[in-house]
């Protein structure tokens, strides 16, 4: 394995990490904006009001997106295994 192949594997790993985390981060962002707007309109400044709905929404999104995340991770792992097999003696 040379440096170019190692950089390519690292680039793919970062891309897979972004693909898996972005939907959850976007859900968290949207819920955070909605809650912030609600707090600004009602002037309720309760800290648990921001934490609990985000936690529940991320959990629901994670359960809903689990097949996509698993498919992405399995595809990356299979590609990595194929590369390792291809490097054989």
Residue 38 within any structural domain of the chain:
yes
How many distinct structural domains can be found in the chain? 1
C-alpha 76: how far from chain center? 15
Helix 47-86 / helix 3-42 crossing angle, nearest 10 deg:
170
Using the predicted structure, report yes or no on whether residue 57 has a pLDDT greater than 80. Answer: yes
Q: In terms of pTM, does the model score above 0.85? A: no
Residue 35 within any structural domain of the chain:
yes
With cut-offs at 50, 70 and 90, classify the pLDDT of residue 24: very high
Residue 53 within any structural domain of the chain:
yes
Given a contact cutoff of 8 angstroms between Cβ atoms, the answer to whether 46 and 64 are in contact is no
Residue 81 within any structural domain of the chain:
no
**Tokens encoding 24:** 């959850």
pLDDT tens, residue by residue, 63-82: 999 999 999 999 999 999 99
Q: Mean pLDDT in the chain?
A: 91
- What is the extent of the structural domain holding 70? 3-75
DSSP code string of 33-87: HHHHHHHHHHT---HHHHHHHHHHHHHHHHHHHHHHHHHHHHHHHHHHHHHHHHT
């Amino acid at each position: 394995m040379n440096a170019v192949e190692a950089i390519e594997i690292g680039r793919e790993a970062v891309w897979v990490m972004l693909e898996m985390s972005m939907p959850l981060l976007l859900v968290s962002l949207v819920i955070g904006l909605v809650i912030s707007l609600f707090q600004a309109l009602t002037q309720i400044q309760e800290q648990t009001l921001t934490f609990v709905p985000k936690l529940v929404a991320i959990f629901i999104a994670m359960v809903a997106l689990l097949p996509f995340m698993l498919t992405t991770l399995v595809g990356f792992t299979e590609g990595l295994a194929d590369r390792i097999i291809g490097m054989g003696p």
